[in-house]
Amino acid sequence: MTIESSFAARDRTAHPLDIATRLERSSNGRLHGATAEDYWNMTGPWGGTTAATLLRAALESPSRFGDPVALTVNFCAPIARGEFFIDLREVRRNRSTQHWSIELSQDGQGVAATASAVFAARRETWAHRPAVMPEVPPPAALRPMSTEGRNAWLQRYDFRFVEGEPDFGPRAEGALSGTRSRVWLSELPARRLDFLSLAALTDIFFVRIFQVRGRMSPASTVSLTSYFHVDETDLAALDPQPLLGTVDSRVFTKGYFDQSAEIWSPGGALLATTAQTVYYKE
């Protein structure tokens, strides 16, 4: 029995994200987990599950302090189907912050992903919210994007595009779409929004090059940074999903482009902001 099927067998009622990101401690002290078919992307696990798995290592550490504030994930190499190991190191602990270094590797393959995470004890302070959620039609007024027959991870979410739904239909040679998308997002099946869900969601936005050119081409996120603007208390008090995601890019040049995104609660709170750099081949 593979590790994954062993996890699944024990957790028949668990959400697929909990199974995909599950970690256990090996006899040698390292954490280990396994890739999940439920979140498979084109040639490896979807980056959102990798980000959530790396964060989970710190979230579940007995010495965890506070809530995640910043997470950077570097995707170093493809992750193969099967088992992986995670090495977690507390780099520094201060009075109100904790810095983690996290690495994912596979036997005989070296390091496939690294992460740094900053945790902090958050407390009430002066607050200010200059950014406001864009006014968009409600999710009920929009149809869900069809994910049937597509990569497994897409089927773990309900996508309702307000604007910028990828259009892979015929288009004039060289015609480009806009870079921005706005989309209502829900987890399938539903899941209580926590930092695992949120970390995964920061990588949910289709790489902009597909959107702009209206076709798939070799491209992959190389580095992803997410900032969380909520703590556990805020998350527990939130309205249910769907969440509003907005994403845009500014420059595509010499094989790399930037991509920035926001995730808003249905009530208009900015939950997370992210930035990433994405490799593209041609």
Interface residues with a second copy (CB under 8 A)?
A: 69-70, 72, 74, 76-77, 91-92, 94, 96-97, 99, 101, 103, 110-112, 114, 116, 118, 120, 122-131, 176, 178-179, 212-213, 222-223, 225, 227, 229-231, 234, 249-258, 260, 262, 270, 273, 275, 277, 279-282
The contacts of residue 173 (CB under 8 Å, 6+ apart) are none
Least distance (Å) between residue 247 CB and a second copy: 13
Q: Which residue, among 204, 57, 60, 63, has the nearest Cα to 116 in the 3D structure?
A: 57
Nearest distance, CB of residue 189 and a second copy, angstroms: 30
Q: How far is the CB of 12 from a second copy (least distance, A)?
A: 37
CA separation for the pair 226, 203 (Å, rounded):
9
Question: Please, what is the minimum distance in Å from the beta carbon of residue 160 to a second copy?
Answer: 23
State the minimum distance, in angstroms, from the CB of residue 97 to a second copy: 7
Instruction: In whole angstroms, give the CA distance from residue 136 to residue 125.
Output: 30
Q: Which is nearer to a second copy, 34 or 118 (CB)?
A: 118
Amino acid letter, 150: R
How many Cβ atoms from other residues are within 10 Å of residue 104's Cβ?
Answer: 24
Element (H, E) at 264: strand 256-264
Q: By C-beta, is 7 or 179 nearer to a second copy?
A: 179
The smaller minimum CB distance to a second copy, of residues 184 and 280, is found at 280
Comparison of 101 and 151: residue with beta carbon closer to a second copy: 101
- Residue 47: other Cβ atoms inside 10 A: 24
Q: What are phi and psi of 251, to 5 degrees?
A: -155, 135
Report the C-alpha gap between 277 and 145 in whole angstroms.
25
Give the residue with the Cβ less far from a second copy, 17 or 204: 204
Asked whether the CA dihedral 279, 230, 232, 89 is positive or negative, the reply is positive
CB 120 within 8 A of CB 98: yes
Least distance from a second copy to the Cβ atom of residue 196, Å: 20
* Selection from 34, 35, 16 nearest residue 26 by Cα: 34
**Phi, psi (rounded to 5 degrees) for 139:** -55, -35
- Smallest gap from Cβ 213 to a second copy, in A, equals 8
Looking at the Cβ atoms of 23 and 118, the one nearer to a second copy is: 118
Nearer residue to a second copy within complex by CB, 5 or 63: 63
